[in-house]
Structure 1
Amino acid sequence: MLETTADDVLALFCTSAGTKERFLRWKRDPRRAAVTPAVMAHRTRVLYRSTEDDVQVVCQSTEHALGEVRRSVGESVQEIVDWHPDFAFTHTFHICIEGIGAIPTYQQFREFALDDAAGQEMLGHPARAMIRSLVDDGHPEWRARAAMRWRVGNAYYGFLREAYTLVQLRQRGIDLRVHPLADALFRVDAWVGRRALSLRVGNKKFRQGTSVGRKTPAEQLLADVEPPLEFDTIELAAATEFGAVHIPTALHLDHAAARLGSL
């Protein structure tokens, strides 16, 4: 069975003084006391056996991840716009997929976060605690809940887009690998051989094609890794349809496969 482990990630990306120090800081961070063992034990398997049909079924059957929330409300509570639980969203999504054995619809993911013990620890309980804190500070509960739905729903759509891209490129013969440690710690959405791939969506708040306004990109975090890594990016235009899964076109994917296959 094809799988990717945290040790695979460390062997490839954690080989320089800078990346080793980044990893050690993450391990020693008191906020990551529960995160570290869960991520280090994680094995990516289910995504590798997922098919285009599997992803299409999810895209067609998923509940609207943003509900009735509009951007003006969803981004009106700055504390939630900037909120990051101890478990990164990518940790929770990956662990959810392996736990249920499939790419989840939004309603399945919500059930995992609210009813499953691991999902509660990673997302359900922290989200509820954040909402309670905001209500105690005077925010209307409906607005805090709407902002949290917007935050989690957009994260869900982003992960579904990454899963679709992975499945499509693997079907085009590219042996892409993924793991939540690579994503959250080293900003690598996927990789093949020694080439790291980033999937980005253009945003009018940011300058496309640069790191301005973004988290530090993989190209900078991994610049001193030896032997040197190569980097590639699939950058999509900003989404224009509310609540739809914004995925790369076949042309985007064909071009990416051609580049990634030319190793």
Structure 2
Amino acid sequence: MIETTAEEVRELFCSSAATSKRFDDWMSDERRTEVAPMVMAHRTRVLYRLTEDDVRSVCQETEHALGEVKRRDGESVSEIVDWHPDFAFTHVFHICVERLGHVPTYQQFREFAFNDVDGQHMLGNPSIEVLRKLVDAGRPERQVRAAIRWRVGNAYYGFLREVYTLVQLRLRGVDLRVHPLADALFRVDAWVGRWALSLRVGNKKFRQGMNAGRKTRTEDLLADLLPPMRFDTIELEAATTFGEVHLPTAVHLDRAAARLAGRGHSRLT
């Protein structure tokens, strides 16, 4: 059984003073006293068993993760635009996948977040708490709900995009690996050998360095690793169709596979 553990991530990415300190600070952060044990115990397994059909069926069967929310409404509550619960969204998605044994549709993910004990703890309850806090402060409830839906829905679509990329590149022979510790702490969407892969969607806020989730570039975070880590990026144009999962094309994937197959020196047999 193929699996990736947090200890493997730690061994690979904590080989410099800066990254070791980043990890130690995260482990000792009072806000992460419940987060760190769950993430460190996490083993990525299910994602390596997925087929192309598995992911495409989820993309087709999921309800629209953004609902009827328009961007102007989704980004109208400044406190929610860059809202992060103690558990990063990627933590919740990865743990949900391993719990369910498959990638959830958005409606299945919402069920997990509000009805599973761990899901409630990681996302359901924090979302209710921030909703109540902002409503008590005078924000219209409908507006806050729309902003939370926009925030979580876009994060969900981003996760589907990463899963689709993982499955497609593995089908092309690249032994790509993922783990929520690498994603949330070191901004590494996936890696093969000593090549780190980032998946990015063209975004004005990102280009201007204003996106809170990407304030520090992966290349900067891992600049001092020894032996050095190398970097590759799949960059997509901004989505133009509302309500569809924005996925990399076959051209994006073929080119990335060709680059990574030689650079990573790690191919599936």
- Shift of residue 259 of structure 1? 0.2
Q: Unaligned regions of 5+ residues in structure 1, if any?
A: none
Report the aligned-residue RMSD.
1.0
- Shift of residue 244 of structure 1? 1.0
Q: 2:79 — aligned with what?
A: 79
Q: 2:246 — aligned with what?
A: 246
Number of residues of Structure 1 aligned to a counterpart in Structure 2: 261
Deviations 1:100-126 (A, max 9, x none): 000110000000000000000000000
Does residue 1:145 correspond to 2:145, yes or no?
yes
- Shift of residue 243 of structure 1? 1.8
C-alpha distance 211-150 of structure 1, shift in aligned 2 (>3 A): closer
In 1, the alpha carbon distance for the partners of 2:206 and 2:169 equals: 27
TM alignment of 1:51-62, pairs within 5 A:
51-62=51-62
- Shift of residue 191 of structure 1? 0.2
Q: 2:205 — aligned with what?
A: 205
Deviations 1:131-176 (A, max 9, x none): 0000000011111111100110000000000000000000000000
In 2, the alpha carbon distance for the partners of 1:36 and 1:215 equals: 22
TM alignment of 1:150-169, pairs within 5 A:
150-169=150-169
In 2, the alpha carbon distance for the partners of 1:202 and 1:83 equals: 21
Q: 2:3 — aligned with what?
A: 3
- Cα contact 1:211–1:217 (8 A) shared by 2: no
Percent sequence identity is 72
Q: 2:226 — aligned with what?
A: 226
Q: Unaligned regions of 5+ residues in structure 2, if any?
A: 264-269
Matched AA of 2:129:
A
Flag as ranges the 4+ runs of structure 1 deviating above 2 A. Answer: 204-207, 210-214
In 2, the alpha carbon distance for the partners of 1:205 and 1:18 equals: 27
Q: 1:173 — aligned with what?
A: 173
Q: 2:215 — aligned with what?
A: 215
TM-score by length of 1: 0.97
Does residue 1:46 correspond to 2:54, yes or no?
no
Does residue 1:191 correspond to 2:191, yes or no?
yes
Deviations 1:163-203 (A, max 9, x none): 00000000000000000000000000000001000001111
C-alpha distance 212-64 of structure 1, shift in aligned 2 (>3 A): closer
Q: 2:266 — aligned with what?
A: none
SS at match of 1:223: coil
Matched AA of 2:124:
G
SS at match of 1:9: helix
- Shift of residue 262 of structure 1? 1.0
SS at match of 2:231: strand
Does residue 1:67 correspond to 2:101, yes or no?
no
In 2, the alpha carbon distance for the partners of 1:182 and 1:256 equals: 20
- Shift of residue 217 of structure 1? 1.4
- Cα contact 1:9–1:179 (8 A) shared by 2: yes
TM alignment of 1:16-55, pairs within 5 A:
16-55=16-55
In 1, the alpha carbon distance for the partners of 2:209 and 2:45 equals: 31
TM-score by length of 2: 0.95
In 2, the alpha carbon distance for the partners of 1:173 and 1:211 equals: 34
SS at match of 1:232: strand
In 2, the alpha carbon distance for the partners of 1:18 and 1:48 equals: 30
- Cα contact 1:52–1:164 (8 A) shared by 2: yes
- Shift of residue 81 of structure 1? 0.6
- Shift of residue 211 of structure 1? 5.4
In 1, the alpha carbon distance for the partners of 2:164 and 2:13 equals: 24
C-alpha distance 212-81 of structure 1, shift in aligned 2 (>3 A): closer
In 1, the alpha carbon distance for the partners of 2:215 and 2:173 equals: 30
- Shift of residue 205 of structure 1? 2.9
In 1, the alpha carbon distance for the partners of 2:90 and 2:28 equals: 20
- Shift of residue 212 of structure 1? 6.7
Matched AA of 1:144:
V
